[in-house]
Structure 1
Amino acid sequence: MGSLLRTEAQERAGLIDVTGYDLSLDLDQGDENFGSAVTITFTCRRPGAATFLDLQAETVTSIALNGVALDPASVTDGRVILPGLQGENTVQVESVMRYRHDGEGLHRAVDPADGRHYVYGMSFLDAGPSIYACFDQPDLKAPYDVRVRAPHDWIVGGNGAAKQTAPGEWTLATTPPMSTYFVTVCAGPYAAETDEHDGIPLGIYVRASLARQLREQRDEIFEVTKQSFDYYHQLFGIRYPWGKYDQFFVPEFNAGAMENPGCVTLRDEYIFRGAHTRTQLLTRANTIAHEMAHMWFGDLVTMQWWDDLWLNESFAEYMAHRTSAEATRYAEAWVDFGIARKTWGYGVDRSPSTHPVAGASAPDAKSALTNFDGISYAKGASALRQLALYVGDGAFVAGVRKHLTDNSFGNATMDDFLAAVEHASGRSLAEWTRGWLRSSGVDDIRLEVEEHDGVVARAELVVTRPAGSTSFRSHVLDVASINEGVAMATIRVHADRPRTDLPDLAGTARGYLLLPNSSDLTWATTQLDVESLAAVPGELLATDDPLVRLAVWSALLGGADTGRVDPQRVVHVFAECWPHEDTTSLSDMLAGLVRVLYPYRLVPQADSAHVQAMLADAGLRRLDLVEDPQAALTPARLVAATTTDADLLARWAADDGRPGSAAGDTDFGWQVVRRQAALGLIDAAAIDTARARDDSLSGHLSALSARAARPTDEAKRWAWDQLYGERALSNYEALSLAEGFFAGYGENGADELLRGYVDRFFGELPAVPRKLGDMAAEKFVMAAFPHRAVEPAVADAARAAIANPDNTPGVRRALADSLDRLDRALVAHEKFGGTV
């Protein structure tokens, strides 16, 4: 089916207004298909004209327009032509639809723990027509009445409050007007926990095999939910408009969550099976706050077209971290934003596939997905954070309130939002918009200092725009001069030109560490001078301010990413300082970033075994320092992912001597098994034994990943056949196999075995979206890419695949981002060479 063109959407929106959907779904027709019957009422401004419905059906049973039957066989390329419209119209469509297994449409999953089936609807971005016939574009909003028939032992939820009217029969309350891409129905033998807050009924749902974990974690989830409601009610001045508030934690979900009004769907990995860190709890809390922010910004007021999708996500991203930091116990949320989200976004913004936050072309619906990335989320949120600093927080909030009030239950554009902020602040945002929203790339910031006898005589903040940029981006940021962990001076700077004099630093003692963006307020790559770079280890260990440590790490990671800092210097600083890091977000995210991006990637293969051993040793030293059992989990995970100590891995696999909360934890056990498998220390029978002890979905997926990771010809041939043969895979099964396949490249001679598969990987890519769907295909490419094969020939093969017109735009985008990481590694190898 061709993607809806923006011009087509504008023409259709100019012709019709949709007044209501009446939808019936029959989910009791077996495991493969379900019935869908919809009645749509709409008006037409030009009687006699024609328009079309969107429909992706297995079989169309009947179509009637204003009582006149249309030929079901006339459906072409996913469209139902509706000719000869009247002023007021009714169209009825009955069809048989197919359940999907790619995380889109009406997804059906089987929990291997008990064989029970679960269904959830994911209508984003253009998957709604695979559930029901509709006018599928964001600016044709309408209220919904939904009825569902389901097996008698299932419960049903959706956007409106669900009521069981008879065994297996459910009716959902009429919704306020909403866009087609928000429609969802969740059905299955879900376990439920309920509560109420401020007159709002609350529900949490999860598959039955996780019922115990939900009972244990419900209070924390409800607490964050209630805190977020209170914060948003106070901030926006508008009551939650969607009635009840359900959160369904569903299996095999492609994204983190989806903001369906009244019925949020989230990936069920957020219901932790066992041991988990504070960072994981913070991430879940942040996701809850993010999706709730969408109830106002995105759901109540929706973008006109997909080119403003960034505004929905940037706003929710910004609000989630603001809410987490100010209204929950996770006061360190902005530290987490800096190390987790901004690091992701910086990587995208430094790549050839960078694009402006706003104004990126979206000539059709699917093209918007190619810009659904760390720029739309992290950089966009950073821009909004800067906007609040630029106009003042009071004016920013007043502008948000005006925007939400003026456009409630309607659609709006970026210009509408900015006009509301301009009205509230009395300031023109034209120049600010050009710098922050219409230009791409990351600015560099550094300090130029003249000193005499250790005293600063003159200091300037220097901002360097990205190559090719024609707009200057103003920055509101802090600059600190730090000695032995103490900020001797911290000044707030509004840099609205390439060079900004800092008179408040003149006459002060020069600190060992001069740190621009010391509170991580802006979006930029910090360049440290030679003296500051040399002082980094000591200052990281000395300072009590986690934002300063974040800013230092951001400078180090950004320096390595841009070829200015030797990656091995980063690893040495990590080995010295990380064992003493007590802010869990920094500790957890740094451990993940360094172990994934540095050995066998940014660090040359010849030095990587030594570097990986340094990481394992840092983990062991951290284990010696921590007393909290929960705090032992992150260093234990680092050791499990990097050690080559076969005896240690064997003991931990047998749950002998595991540290802290890793003891008895099934998921940690699987991490150990996967490492054993990648090192060739266990055979398939040992993996099958571990799988027999864990009959859950997580166990099934972990076993697939472990089997694919084994460095044997038999294992690779089996995994390849699973991935690219005729076997039907769920999106999660494909990702698990992909993550394991190239995992051991570079270790124990596995590169000799795997090198022949690299070219085959690029050759098979055109078939991946057809097998997995567009959203899952992009994630698959990122997971399956041979990141450790840091060779010019691999880069050339990736470029050829990007140029191949048989690959979808989403696959090409994922390849471009992966290639950029590979090119950065090649630059680092050439520039810094071997061991420092």
Structure 2
Amino acid sequence: MPLLYQDEAQARSALIEVTSYDVQLDLTGPGETFTSTSTVTFAAREPGTETFADVVALDLSEATLNGRRLDPPVDGRLRLGDLARTNVLRVSGTFAYSRDGQGLHRSVDPADGQVYIYGMSFLDAAPQVFACFDQPDLKAPFDVRVSAPDDWVVAGNGHAEQVAPGDWVLATTPPLATYFVTVCAGPYATVEREHDGIALAVHARASMAQQLREQADDILRVTERSFDYYHQLFGIRYPWGDYHQFFVPEFNAGAMENPGCVVFRDQYIFRGHPTRGELLSRASVIAHEMAHQWFGNLVTMRWWDDLWLNESFAEYMGYRTTAAVNEFPDAWARMGIERKTWGYAEDRGPGTHPVAGSAAGDNYTALTNFDGISYSKGASVLRQLVAWLGDEAFLAGVRAHLSAHRFGNATLADFLAAMQQASGQDVNTWAGAWLRTTGADVLSVGSAAGVPTLICTPPGDPAGRRHVVEVGAFAGGQEVQRFPLVVDATITPLPDLLVGRAVVVPNVSDETWAQVDLDEHSLQVLPQELASIPDLDARQVIWSSLIEGVARVVLDPRRALEVFEASWPDEPSDVIAGPVGVKAAFVFAGDFLPYEERPAAIASVAEAAMRRLAGLDDGDPAAISTARLLAATTRDHELLQSWARGESLPAVLADDRDIRWSALHRLAALGLADEDAIAQLRRSDPTLTGALAAVAAGAAIPTADAKQRAWSALVGAHLSNYEAARVAGSFFDVSAPGSLELLRPYVDRFFTEVPRLSHAYGEFALSSIVSAGFPLSITEPHTAEQAQVALDDGDLTASARRQILQGLALLRDALRSHERFASK
């Protein structure tokens, strides 16, 4: 697809109004193609003018406007000349299924050979399925008909009715943006239920039917509670009819909020016993996508520069709902350690951008802004807005906004006007400070004239942000102080604060977007104090401070590792212990240390995991994340080989195939397992998950032949989107002796070959591949030089450029850490 520029979209929107779509899809043919027929009715405000429609087909058998044949499309654009006041566009042809997660994605389940199809029309993928005017502000009702094999389940945005064997008619939808349109079809296993007059259904591949049945009650309970909560909060009933949730293979994102038919990556149907953190994350994603049914679907952004109207709000509501009604009061802590650390990294990097109103002159540039800023920073800023305005005023503004723009489009200005009217506060000034700036303030404790103070250090020029926060102090396993504050100056006196006598935690309830630097006394006593601090949010803020301190190169990774070794084995909450363990392995003990120190540091992480595991009951779900960390870091060959055989595992993991793959992957990366061992485990796990684990383990083998095979498959485009990301993410593993020498020649090849694979994998998938494969583990100036050469070349798509920029920033920070904290 060519870029769609904002000025082109605005001109097209000013010229035409789309009144209806009729789409017919025939999925009955064998092989890699399907047929699609689109009939689009639209009005032109100026007859005699021209515009264009979007379509990406292998072959068009018909393309007519008002009965007049059209010239073939050029670069995905179908020229429409001499428009009448009322127009009918009809396009029919053969289209290609994809393997990159966009358009109509076709996947064959290796477990049973069954075929599954799902539609992903975001961001510019709708023209790969049907001819359309593909931009978010040209909404229209859709009628969709589908022909499929007789034994398939078919669903989409409107209620689906099978009118004859294999023939399905979907009910006419309310006005939809084209990027929401989906059809899911295949021999899916299904569990159905009704709640409050809404027909609910969850679906997964037939080979996952048992797991779906076992987990459907939890999924549907979260769904039902979230519906009740949103009806109460928004004052508008769910407007899209049925509510399907499809857990589909090889999905690029976590989920997509298609009205009435949400698709999720099927890793959310857990193969083994899930951790509490995994259940919490699934609940928050379900609630996030449900919030979109109002904010994003009912009211849609006019152009991609207001994408925050979708994602920030849904992210905030997802965690709020999960904490309020879905039995996870620790949801905000999980967001802090998992999502906010992602957002902080994005916000200090070269690709940072404001939460709202980011320049998006074309649709692909907009894709680069679907990141930790649009999600976690935006959600955190909204949480801070609620803390300032009060919940009642915030919700009144939300209801007014949704009601005023129901089934239409809106902008940031519309949202702010609703908030200002509801609250009577100067929301525009707040937006200027929070939504239209970049970076995070840093909160720390110091002293002025001997008086303890809270110091707020902005990134660069002061943005005038006002923080509604709390400061807490802890000693001897107790909370000894807590101060609520409104911070609107660089220095805020705190004369009674126990600095130097307690662990002092700014932003202790984590209600604002700000990084925290701990004072020296707090850092010194953390190894003895951290695990006993009774407040979950406070411990999460401390762990995040350590992670971010290392990443910002203000904290020696050795000091963070010392705290980890002493405190993490006794961390009471697995909801934060799981993510902290992963980050410790790759931040405290990984790339921010020189090569020669990494083996011992990783060994200390493994020892901490062993101690934590020894202190847990065999059936405790917390043992799952701990065992995974141990499998990823230990060099205990006997333990890894035993676990790879499925022996001597904690009881909660006794039948867990994923832990076997984790152990085998580590053996492969250490040079202790070959392709025969991988093939043997693969034969016992003939699933898509097993296939992905096998290609990842194969790419980690530290031999010249194995690396060449993996590389050839990756750059030769012989892989699916998921396979490519897994190969890229495993390739630059330096665990085995001699790996550096083996991998260094591939650094140059990475920057010249991988970022140019969008033709093979699509822009969305390529972003994940470049991010996963960036050779950060080869932490050397030459790697940075080659990354800069790639950026200077200029021949990169927006997504590939963004990921290389972010990777280069991390690499330079790691190199700075080596230099600043050189071991004595």
TM-score class, shorter-chain normalisation, is: over 0.9
**Candidates 493, 496, 506, aligned match of 1:501:** 493
Residue number in structure 2 paired with 1:722: 713
Alignment of 1:159-308 (within 5 A): 159-308=157-306
The separation in 2 between residues aligned to 1:191 and 1:723, in whole angstroms, is 32
User: Quick check: 1:530 aligned with 2:520?
Assistant: yes
The separation in 2 between residues aligned to 1:417 and 1:573, in whole angstroms, is 44
| Amino acid in the other structure paired with 1:388 | V
Residue number in structure 2 paired with 1:693: 684
Residue number in structure 1 paired with 2:426: 428
Unaligned runs of 5+ in 1: 452-456
The separation in 1 between residues aligned to 2:473 and 2:388, in whole angstroms, is 24
**Candidates 527, 531, 555, aligned match of 2:545:** 555
The separation in 2 between residues aligned to 1:502 and 1:568, in whole angstroms, is 31
Residue number in structure 2 paired with 1:486: 478
Partners of 1:50 and 1:83 within 8 A in 2: yes
The separation in 2 between residues aligned to 1:55 and 1:450, in whole angstroms, is 65
Instruction: Give the C-alpha shift of residue 121 in structure 1.
Output: 0.4
Partners of 1:17 and 1:140 within 8 A in 2: yes
Please state whether the residue corresponding to 1:163 is helix, strand or coil.
strand
The separation in 1 between residues aligned to 2:567 and 2:686, in whole angstroms, is 40
User: Quick check: 1:749 aligned with 2:741?
Assistant: no
The separation in 1 between residues aligned to 2:296 and 2:786, in whole angstroms, is 40
Please state whether the residue corresponding to 1:411 is helix, strand or coil.
strand
Residue number in structure 1 paired with 2:589: 599
| Amino acid in the other structure paired with 2:814 | A
| Amino acid in the other structure paired with 1:721 | S
Instruction: Give the C-alpha shift of residue 501 in structure 1.
Output: 2.8
Please state whether the residue corresponding to 1:371 is helix, strand or coil.
coil
The separation in 1 between residues aligned to 2:657 and 2:195, in whole angstroms, is 35
Residue number in structure 2 paired with 1:783: 772
User: Quick check: 1:543 aligned with 2:526?
Assistant: no
Q: Deviations over 1:218-269 (max 9, x none)?
A: 0000000001101100010110000110000000000000000000000001
Partners of 1:536 and 1:552 within 8 A in 2: no
Instruction: Give the C-alpha shift of residue 359 in structure 1.
Output: 2.0
Residue number in structure 1 paired with 2:566: 576
Instruction: Give the C-alpha shift of residue 661 in structure 1.
Output: 1.5
**Candidates 435, 458, 464, aligned match of 2:457:** 464
The separation in 2 between residues aligned to 1:208 and 1:340, in whole angstroms, is 32
State the 4+ residue runs in structure 1 displaced beyond 3 angstroms. 508-511
Residue number in structure 1 paired with 2:791: 802
Residue number in structure 2 paired with 1:352: 350
The separation in 2 between residues aligned to 1:187 and 1:31, in whole angstroms, is 15
Instruction: Give the C-alpha shift of residue 433 in structure 1.
Output: 1.1
| Amino acid in the other structure paired with 2:713 | Q
**Candidates 458, 466, 470, aligned match of 1:474:** 466
Instruction: Give the C-alpha shift of residue 135 in structure 1.
Output: 0.6
Please state whether the residue corresponding to 2:193 is helix, strand or coil.
strand
The separation in 1 between residues aligned to 2:574 and 2:747, in whole angstroms, is 37
Residue number in structure 2 paired with 1:367: 365
The separation in 2 between residues aligned to 1:509 and 1:343, in whole angstroms, is 26
Q: Deviations over 1:340-364 (max 9, x none)?
A: 0000001111112211111211111
**Candidates 427, 439, 442, aligned match of 2:440:** 442
The separation in 2 between residues aligned to 1:512 and 1:479, in whole angstroms, is 12
Residue number in structure 2 paired with 1:5: 5
| Amino acid in the other structure paired with 2:67 | G
User: Quick check: 1:69 aligned with 2:69?
Assistant: yes
| Amino acid in the other structure paired with 2:540 | L
Please state whether the residue corresponding to 1:240 is helix, strand or coil.
coil
**Candidates 113, 123, 126, aligned match of 1:125:** 123
The separation in 1 between residues aligned to 2:482 and 2:38, in whole angstroms, is 62
Instruction: Give the C-alpha shift of residue 792 in structure 1.
Output: 0.7
Instruction: Give the C-alpha shift of residue 532 in structure 1.
Output: 1.6
User: Quick check: 1:674 aligned with 2:665?
Assistant: yes
The separation in 1 between residues aligned to 2:593 and 2:757, in whole angstroms, is 31
Instruction: Give the C-alpha shift of residue 70 in structure 1.
Output: 2.3
The separation in 2 between residues aligned to 1:717 and 1:356, in whole angstroms, is 41
Q: Deviations over 1:10-68 (max 9, x none)?
A: 11111111111011001112221111101111111111111111111111111121222
The separation in 1 between residues aligned to 2:756 and 2:427, in whole angstroms, is 46
Partners of 1:766 and 1:806 within 8 A in 2: no
Residue number in structure 2 paired with 1:55: 55
Q: Deviations over 1:685-736 (max 9, x none)?
A: 11110111110011111111111111111111111111122x5321011112
**Candidates 806, 820, 824, aligned match of 1:831:** 820
Residue number in structure 2 paired with 1:663: 654
Q: Deviations over 1:359-390 (max 9, x none)?
A: 21111111101111101101011110111111
Partners of 1:24 and 1:148 within 8 A in 2: yes
Residue number in structure 2 paired with 1:83: 81
The separation in 2 between residues aligned to 1:31 and 1:207, in whole angstroms, is 19
Percent same amino acid among aligned pairs?
Answer: 50
The separation in 1 between residues aligned to 2:202 and 2:302, in whole angstroms, is 31
**Candidates 86, 89, 92, aligned match of 1:94:** 92
| Amino acid in the other structure paired with 1:495 | V
Please state whether the residue corresponding to 2:572 is helix, strand or coil.
coil
Residue number in structure 2 paired with 1:454: none
Instruction: Give the C-alpha shift of residue 629 in structure 1.
Output: 3.2
The separation in 2 between residues aligned to 1:686 and 1:492, in whole angstroms, is 58
Normalising to structure 2: TM-score of the pair?
0.98
Partners of 2:257 and 2:289 within 8 A in 1: yes
| Amino acid in the other structure paired with 1:481 | A
**Candidates 757, 766, 776, aligned match of 1:768:** 757
Residue number in structure 1 paired with 2:632: 641
Partners of 1:311 and 1:380 within 8 A in 2: no
**Candidates 712, 721, 740, aligned match of 1:731:** 721
Partners of 2:547 and 2:587 within 8 A in 1: no
Aligned length: 823
Instruction: Give the C-alpha shift of residue 470 in structure 1.
Output: 4.7
The separation in 1 between residues aligned to 2:47 and 2:294, in whole angstroms, is 35
| Amino acid in the other structure paired with 1:756 | P
Instruction: Give the C-alpha shift of residue 598 in structure 1.
Output: 3.3
Residue number in structure 2 paired with 1:28: 28
The separation in 1 between residues aligned to 2:438 and 2:570, in whole angstroms, is 37
The separation in 2 between residues aligned to 1:790 and 1:686, in whole angstroms, is 31
Partners of 2:669 and 2:735 within 8 A in 1: no
Instruction: Give the C-alpha shift of residue 599 in structure 1.
Output: 2.9
Please state whether the residue corresponding to 1:773 is helix, strand or coil.
helix
Instruction: Give the C-alpha shift of residue 539 in structure 1.
Output: 2.4
Normalising to structure 1: TM-score of the pair?
0.97
Q: Deviations over 1:765-794 (max 9, x none)?
A: 343111110011010011111121110111
Please state whether the residue corresponding to 1:770 is helix, strand or coil.
helix
The separation in 2 between residues aligned to 1:292 and 1:519, in whole angstroms, is 26
Moved more, 344-353 or 59-68: 59-68
Residue number in structure 1 paired with 2:104: 106
Partners of 1:600 and 1:746 within 8 A in 2: no
The separation in 2 between residues aligned to 1:580 and 1:356, in whole angstroms, is 38
Superposition RMSD in Å: 1.4
